[in-house]
Chains A and B, each alone.
Chain A
Amino acid sequence: MKLHDVVEILDAKLLIGEDRHRELEVKTAFSADLMSDVLAFAKSGSLILTGLTTPQVVRTASILDAVALIIVRGKIPSGETLQLARELDIPVLSTRYILFETSGRLYANGIVGCVEKIGGTRDGES
């Protein structure tokens, strides 16, 4: 799926991002409001779904080479957070769906968790 499909499925606004970002390919996602858990469990090249809007969310996404940040529950990050996302080249989407609905709608369209279960991955690696 491309990022522009994600925008459409989630009826989202692309707050930060250009046309080249819309063509980015996404297959996996991680949802959490705990950045500690995002850092511990998320894999690079994923979408990060969260209700947090602090600049640290953007830095966490950058550290992990996330494809994009999806802010749920209709929240709009501060100008400072958005400016940082622009600088670090992290696309930011905002959707009014709650985290559960956002995750479910993406899953129903073929996006899977970047880790299925803690202690094992989709590929059966440990």
Chain B
Amino acid sequence: MNRAYEKTFSVEGDNFDNAGTASIEIKKILKDLRIDEDVLRKTAIAVYESELNIISYARSGNITLYVDDDTINIDVEDEGPGIEDIDLAMQPGYSTATEHIRQMGFGAGMGLYNIKSCSDLFEISSTPNVGTHLKIIIKRNGR
């Protein structure tokens, strides 16, 4: 690839009808960029979980995809309640999901943990009552 690819997707909070549309579009873009299948799957899962987090918990958010020769970078920034205790939120099984979210099969407390396990680099920062920022980097060559 001769030049880097960048695109930002806005995601509306509480809009479950469209949950996953940004992720599926990002997956298509990456497929067109001929990203390795395993890397593509990891990226798609990380983006989908991030998108679901915005929809489930935040008012709105942006997912920015930036692809260069070596890495896939995903920045997820939302405006919302933020996370008080990040260590607790990272624990598999810990969840603050509502009944509505659970009825759709989500909110099992696996999201952030799953994003981290799909990432080569994962950073999370959050300010209560302001929002949460995830920085995800996945290497294009696998490991």
Chain A residues with CB under 8 Å of chain B are 33-40, 44, 50, 52, 54-57, 59-60, 62-65, 88
Contact B17 A40 (CB under 8 A): no
Known interface pairs A56-B104, A88-B24. Does A40 touch B113 (Cβ–Cβ under 8 Å)? yes
Question: Which A residues are in CB contact (< 8 Å) with B21?
Answer: 59
Nearest residue, chain B, Cβ from A33 = B105
Complex: A43 Cα to B109 Cα, angstroms: 19
List of B residues within 8 angstroms of A56 by Cβ: 16, 19-20, 104-106
Give A55 to B17 CA distance when docked, in angstroms.
8
What A residues does B37 contact at CB under 8 A?
44, 65
Question: Is B41 in contact with A36, judged by CB distance below 8 angstroms?
Answer: no
> Shortest CB–CB separation between residue B22 and chain A, in angstroms?
10
Q: Which residues of A contact B48 (CB under 8 A)?
A: 39, 59-60, 63
- With both beta carbons as reference points, the residue of chain B lying nearest to A84 in the complex is identified as B20
Contact A36 B24 (CB under 8 A): no
A-side interface mostly: helix
Determine if B23 is an interface residue (Cβ-Cβ < 8 Å).
yes
Q: B residues engaging A (CB < 8 A)? A: 16-17, 19-21, 23-24, 27, 37, 41, 44-45, 48-49, 104-111, 113-114, 117
A117 to chain B, nearest CB (A): 16
Chain B interface, >50% SS class? helix
Who on chain B is nearest to A88 by CB?
Answer: B24
Residue of A nearest to B117 (CB): A40
Q: How far is the CA of A56 from the CA of B103 in the complex (A)?
A: 11
- Contacting pair A40 B110 (CB below 8 A): yes
Q: How far is the CB of B44 from chain A (nearest CB, A)?
A: 5
State the Cβ distance, A67 to closest chain B Cβ, in Å. 14
CB atoms of A44 and B105 under 8 A apart: no
Specify which chain B residues have a CB less than 8 angstroms from the CB of A38 in the assembled complex: 105
- On whether the beta carbons of A35 and B106 are closer than 8 Å, the reply is yes
Please tell me if the beta carbons of A35 and B105 are within 8 angstroms of each other in the complex: yes
Measured CA separation A63–B52 after assembly (Å): 13
Known contacts A44-B41, A65-B41; is-contact A59 B19 (Cβ 8 Å): yes
Inter-subunit contact B110/A37 (CB<8 Å): yes
Residues of A close to B110: CB separation below 8 A = 36-37, 39-40
| Given contacts A36-B110, A36-B111, A37-B110, A63 and B104 within 8 Å (CB-CB) | no
